[in-house]
Homo-oligomer: A and B are copies of this chain.
Amino acid sequence: MPRPRMFDEADVVDRARRTFAETGFAGTSLDDLLEATGLARQSLYNAFGGKKELFMRAFLSDTSSAVDAVSTVMRSAEDPIVRIRTKLVSTAVEHGSAAASPSLFLRAAVELSGSDPEVAATVATAFDDIRADYTACIVDAQHAGEIDAGADAEALGTYFCAVIEGMSTLGRAGVARATLLQMGLTSLTAVPITPLGHERLGTEDGAWT
């Protein structure tokens, strides 16, 4: 019986995500959101409840896609060591050079982790999940004989988590894509890769710009 909505809820959340990612929670006004989503004031309140609630929807959605993105790559059928290099390269490409839509996950972590307990908890478990995925991938690589079995897999997993967050941060701060890529590939040399691992990775690493 109700009049059907003139907007797609998921689409609205995604537009809100982009807006919040660009100007932050405190820096985004309700009018900004209305303009970005095309919704009428009351429609936003009917559908979501308010600014904070819409933010949390967008934030949780972005967080889980960030976690999923890692998970997808780290559990793919590729050689374990290649999965990690793939993630490093794609992070450099996605976060390089201003243009690309910045991550709300990272922004919310920096802006609100200190003040909002729910955001802080979500960020913390997301990082744990991401770390676990990296770690699992490194264990796979050890079983495949690509990485020294004696290496501390968890230390390496945590390490990649930091490298990739650092790349995102620097990318947002304006560091060029090629520089990010160089950083990512350098980080791989921290891993005690066996001769087999090097063979699987291939020799030439250039050709991304």
Q: Which residues of A contact B (CB under 8 A)?
A: 22-27, 98, 102, 106-107, 109-111, 113-115, 120, 123-124, 127, 152, 155-156, 158-159, 161-170, 172-175, 179-180, 182-183, 186-192
Contact = CB atoms under 8 A, between A and B. Distances in A.
A183 B159 contact: yes
Contacts of A168: 169
Given A162-B183, A187-B159, A172 B114 contact: yes
A113 B162 contact: no
7 contacts: A109-B169, A158-B183, A161-B166, A161-B183, A164-B166, A166-B167, A169-B169
A172 B115 contact: no
Nearest to A185: B155
A110 B172 contact: yes
B111 A169 contact: no
B169 A120 contact: no
Given A162-B183, A189-B192, 13 more contacts: A24-B27, A24-B111, A26-B26, A107-B110, A109-B172, A110-B172, A110-B173, A124-B175, A127-B173, A155-B182, A159-B187, A162-B180, A166-B167
A110 B110 contact: yes
A80 to B, nearest CB: 18
